[in-house]
Chain A
Amino acid sequence: MSPPRRNPTGNRTYPIGSARASREDRVLAAARWAVIAAAVAVTAGPLLYGVLLSLKPFAAAAADPLDLFPTPGEATFEAYPTAILEFGLGRNMLTSLQVALATAFLAVACSILGAYAAVRLRFFGRSTVNVVFLGVYLLPGIVLAVPLFVLLNRISLTGTLIGLVLVYIAQTVPVALYMLRGYLQAIPSSVEEAAMIDGCGRLALIRRVVLPMALPGVAATALYVFMIAWNEYLFALLFLVGDRERWTVSLGIAQLTEFSVPTTVLMAGSIAITIPVVAGFLLAQRLLVTGLTAGAEKG
């Protein structure tokens, strides 16, 4: 073991390959793999548990909670049709699909215009608008829920999906705008200027030049908004709980837990509503990640 020497700043340092350095490296390497293993177990574990439980017959699941893996003979998909047909989850999924698609389309349509203006145009009130959006993003949803509940009650939009879509748009526009702004900034403005010289108007410019170039980013943003709308629970609970016909998937599953529904069916329902979201995320993962973390590099 070589003795520690002092560098000009007076700190003790150790030559590369010294016993101290390699012991430190060994400990860190072990810790690193432990962290990775723990992270995988903790993140994938509950999901895997849900899938396995949804494939077991209820009697076997209730008999021994620790016997996690269904034997090949007893594995069954029965719980899925039960959840989707018998407990109305299919209808809920159709409702959620409509709400989430409408929200994604309208929120992205609004925010692409706004994001273009914020990135390319100088106009009066630009910075004020940015601050307002940031503020909205930080306002507690539960606090806004009180007057929105009252307002929608008053104009009898509670129990309708239109009210829910409007609220979702307002909730998702700030994050959509933030993501789209990042994607648009990455596009060179010279192409747009060339198009304008050729006599292209502003809206045509956005539709024919900006939109095609930013399409992957726009798709990723739409997917993210779709996921938020699909997963949302609070406003669906407040506006729709009285109207079983219009429950969304989140509300459907949450209400099922109130009744004595077999756990296996609950798990099947949870997994069924998770699959579209996880599949979409995995498809667009790279784009979504760059869009979400656009501001992080500077921080």
Chain B
Amino acid sequence: MSAPTRTGRPAPRQREVIRSDPGRPRSLLLRRPGAPLTASQREDLHGRVLVSPTVIVVLAFAVLPFCAVALFAFLDVRLVDIPRLYIDELTFTTANMTAVWTSERFWSAALTTAIYAVSAAVGAVAVGLAVALALRAPFRGRAVIRALVLTPYILPVVAATTIWKTLLHPTYGPVNAFGVQWLGWDEPIAFLTTSSADVGPFSVPVALMCVIAFEIWKTFPLAFLFITARLQVAPKDLEEAAAIDGAGKTRTFIHIVLPQLIGVMALLAVLRLLWSFQNFNDIYLLTGGAGGTEVLAVRVYSELIVRADIGSASATGLLMTGMLLVVVAVYAWMLRRERV
């Protein structure tokens, strides 16, 4: 270990040596009392002190609450019991978990959530890819269009849902007015409350499709951003070589561009899947869970607020997190298999 210099700070050359040392920094606890800190011990100390505010906030307001969910899921506790809830007087029960697990409504919400999350994730990545490719070659005004395309992502969700609700409104929404006047609809469609409508031989879940469309609209800009960033670092010479060899644009895309984008697209799809799976705001604000759009997040909310049943809300939330973990585990497993 290097000795500190006279000013108590390491010389730069020694610092470099310490950095490249692959060993773990020595613990502060192993230090002789009173001995001056070595450079690496000081680095260790500073590192821990500097991350501590962040760690404390995250522990207190994210990790600890999650542990509490796991606890509440096994307690028979309602909102009114909270002032009289003491750590040493808890009685555990599996009643919540059994009730949720055997509830038909929970599984139908889980299915809705899965359909919603998968369609929204795939849709967002597909639309993001199409727009990123369309805006790849420069043209006048591209910067403006790029900025414009990003707006749905940064819009306050409440403003966006308010505008969409007005657009789709049965009586004063322009979409319905247009449909009745020009497309020959018999009557206006209540887009956000109709659980299914027959279009020819198919039964279409109208409201669910609307909330999926909204989610794709709101999140494809993120996919567009990441795919664009990846496209910018894709080497051009490979594509040029393919073009000289006579490969058409579609072929060049499938064999040269797409393989480079697959990694980022898979990551995006998984991230979007995880986020859409837990989405509450958009669905609650658009439909309130009506019309066959009751997802797990909305169920947790209604268990908590409407029924004031903390145990049941926690059990639903815990099972929901478990499902998310399965997705993460599958993705991690696929990544690992790819690498081997």
Contacts and interface: CB of A to CB of B under 8 A. Distances in A.
B25 A266 contact: no
A223 to B, nearest CB: 10
Chief secondary structure at chain A's binding surface: helix
A144 B264 contact: no
B134 A121 contact: no
B77 to A, nearest CB: 8
A140 B297 contact: yes
Most buried by B among A42, A64, A147, A273: A147
A139 B66 contact: yes
B317 A140 contact: yes
Contacts of B177: 64-66
Given A7-B245, A124-B27, A147-B68, A117 B278 contact: no
Most buried by A among B159, B178, B181, B324: B159
Interface stretch (B101-109, B147-155, B203-211): B147-155
B233 interface: yes
A28 interface: yes
Interface in A24-62: 24-25, 28, 31-33, 35-36, 39-40, 42-44, 46-47, 49-50, 53, 61-62
B230 A166 contact: no
A297 B225 contact: no
A274 B167 contact: no
B229 interface: yes
A11 B111 CA distance: 44
B63 A132 contact: yes
Interface in A202-254: 202, 227, 230-231, 233-234, 238, 249-251, 253-254
Given A32-B134, A43-B151, A146-B304, A49 B318 contact: no
A13 to B, nearest CB: 4
A24 B285 contact: no
Contacts of B259: none
Interface residues of B, number: 112
B284 to A, nearest CB: 8
A267 interface: yes
A67 to B, nearest CB: 9
A186 interface: no
A31 B247 CA distance: 19
A271 interface: yes
B161 to A, nearest CB: 8
B65 to A, nearest CB: 4
Contacts of B162: 50, 253-254, 257, 266-267, 269-270
B10 to A, nearest CB: 8
B197 to A, nearest CB: 21
Interface residues of A, number: 109
A13 B251 CA distance: 10
B230 A296 contact: yes
A20 B246 CA distance: 11
Contacts of B85: 154
B330 interface: no
A227 B154 contact: yes
B263 interface: yes
Interface in B124-170: 130-131, 133-135, 145, 147-152, 154-160, 162-167
Given A121-B46, A144-B66, A147-B65, 17 more contacts: A16-B246, A35-B131, A39-B131, A39-B145, A47-B163, A49-B167, A123-B47, A124-B48, A151-B65, A154-B83, A167-B61, A173-B58, A233-B157, A253-B158, A285-B147, A293-B229, A296-B229
28 contacts: A16-B244, A20-B248, A24-B248, A36-B135, A39-B131, A43-B149, A43-B221, A47-B163, A50-B159, A53-B166, A110-B57, A113-B53, A123-B45, A136-B62, A142-B301, A144-B61, A144-B69, A145-B301, A146-B65, A146-B300, A170-B62, A233-B158, A234-B281, A254-B285, A257-B162, A278-B151, A289-B150, A297-B232
